[in-house]
Amino acid sequence: MVKVIIIAAIVIFVIYTATKGKKGGSSSAGAPANKPAPSLPKATIENGRVMINGIDYTKDFHRNHAYFKEIIARNFAEYTLRENVPMTEIDAEASKFFKPLDFLLVKDGQPVLAIAIAKDKASKKAPIVCRKHNVKYVTMYYVYENKESFVTDRIKNALL
């Protein structure tokens, strides 16, 4: 009999705490009045880009090969720019299955900087091969915005 009373008391306590403060129908007297949410700035579409207060919020950047080529050619004219260079030109023993380097900056006939353009995963072996032959290496991820100033800063820092 005592066990039944204890179990009943526990059940009643659990039900009471689970429904405590829940009253059907109207809201509590002390609750704040519903205020309208603050209005958000208006988004506009300009040339296929989502613009809010003059800032581009489009996430589908996907810069292409030509975009990077144009920036590199314009800002690093003192270097010879080569495209789609096989890794065997850096290291004759490199596997022919290596993805070709997207760009190679050459100065005075010597490779100086290899630039890879990738979506999300970059090669782990290509930088090692380049470092072995004193060629610097940088990866640019085309799915990000990659403003011109960012691209040139990355290349300048890699060349240091």
Q: Which pLDDT score, from 0 to 100, does residue 19 have?
A: 67
Whether pLDDT at 36 is above 70: no
Whether pLDDT at 13 is above 80: no
Q: What is the pTM of this model?
A: 0.60
Between strands 101-107 and 110-118, the pairing is antiparallel
- Residue 20 in 3-state DSSP? coil
CA-to-CA distance for 59 and 76, rounded, in angstroms? 28
